[in-house]
Amino acid sequence: MKEQEVKRTDVNTLGEFGLIEHITKDFNNIHPSTNKGIGDDAAVLDASGRKMVVSTDMFVEGIHFDLVYSPLKHIGYKAVIVNLSDIYAMNAIPEQITFSMAFSSKYSVEAIQEIYEGVRTACDLYKVDLIGGDTTSSTKGMSISVTAIGYAKEEEIVGRSGAQVGDVICVTGDLGAAYLGLQILEREKQLYINHPGIQPDLAKAQYLIERQLKPEARKDAIDYFRKNEIIPTSMIDISDGLTSELFHICKSSGVGAFIEEGKVPIHDDSQMMALQFNMDPITSALNGGEDYELLFTINEKDLEKVRYMPDIYMIGDIVPKDDGIKLHTTGGNRHDLKAQGWNHFQT
Ligand code: ADP
Ligand code: MG
């Protein structure tokens, strides 16, 4: 597409209030808990005796997203999804979000609107109300902050600290794909920088790239828990890699864990791509981030109910703390798992 064909309206032509009105006009509130949304100094919420669960995340251009390969719509979508995932990981249901942005003059009204199309798609699909935010300028690039607000009965809330020896460790979907998707996008970006004329060959990488650019949150798992009266003993969402999240659960709960290598779910495309990157597929599954699957532990009495969940994998057991946090390899060895995770401050 040629630059000059793209309509570009400078943000200053609308002004701050005009812009806010423009980008939020297609949002409608659906929850009775949203007493007052956008348009006043603050939103008003009604928890109706339920517990409120609140989570915030920031996304910074160049750190968490790269405009070279992230469509604007996907940036808005993912920023919302990542926050909803944190609410689901508490076994709560999100009903509201706020969405705040600081952006430089390189962003046009059309660009901001595209981001909001992604926000609206996520709000529609996951049934959450956009109840406010803030809009301001920055000297360089874009920063986004999203806050999600969810609700649950007190006894439904699941933290990281309830795992007990004998519990079964479960995960809601395959792991490592988002990380491998990112590796592909970074590789193609370098290729493009070195050979600007070249068209990227992404045909075989579609699943992995989608897992990176357009992740989903596991609302279906929480809905299943509600319907079947299951309350996991502990739960966390996999944003920093399975090992890292397992360490959080074990540390908070004062337990150890055994993971069976052969039971860790890895998509066929991930297997293939990991090998192309000279990486052991299990390494990307254990340490790759941004899968936004739920890792949870379940008491043995609930095992039968969980077994029929779609897309569920039972990958190990909670053991006494002194037994450590270990991987049983398919070759019959036992390794200590080492948490690597993401470190945004690493240079
Ligand atoms: P204030 O000056 O009190 O911060 P604003 O003018 O920033 O108020 O915001 C006016 C209304 O628009 C508020 O309800 C606020 O929550 C909402 N709002 C501002 N920016 C955004 C945004 N980026 N997305 C959604 N709502 C927003
Ligand atoms: Mg404001």
pLDDT tens-digit readout, 292-325: 999 999 999 999 999 999 999 999 999 999 999 9
Q: Hey, whose CA ends up nearest to atom 4 of ligand 1?
A: 134
The secondary structure element, H or E, covering residue 110 is helix 109-126
Chain mean pLDDT for the chain:
94
Nearest residue CA, atom 7 of ligand 1?
134
Expressed in angstroms and rounded, the spacing between residue 133 Cα and the centre of ligand 2 is 7
Report the nearest-CA residue for atom 27 of ligand 1: 133
Query: How far apart are the C-alpha atoms of 85 and 141, rounded to whole Å?
Result: 26
Ligand nearest to the CA of 102: 1
292 closest CA partner among 62, 53, 57, 30: 57
Residue 266's closest CA among 171, 333, 184? 171
Write down all domains in the chain, each with its CATH number in brackets: 14-156 (3.30.1330.10), 168-336 (3.90.650.10)
Place of tokens 């570009």: 8
Question: Are the beta carbons of 285 and 176 closer than 8 angstroms?
Answer: yes
Beta bridge partners of 132: 98
**Among 170, 132, 163, 156, residue whose Cα is nearest residue 53:** 156
Mean pLDDT for 262-284 is 95
Query: What's the count of helices (H) and strands (E) in the chain, helices before strands?
Result: 10, 14
Ligand 1 center to 11 CA (angstroms): 16
* Spatial distance between the Cα atoms of 329 and 47, rounded to a whole number of angstroms: 47
**Cβ(134) to ligand 1 under 6 A?**
yes
pLDDT band at 204 (very low <50, low <70, confident <90, very high): confident
- The H or E element that residue 60 is part of is strand 51-60
| Ligand in closest contact with the CA of 41 | 1
Write down the pTM of the prediction.
0.94
Ligand nearest to the CA of 26: 1
For the Cβ of 133 lying below 6 angstroms from any atom of ligand 1, the answer is yes
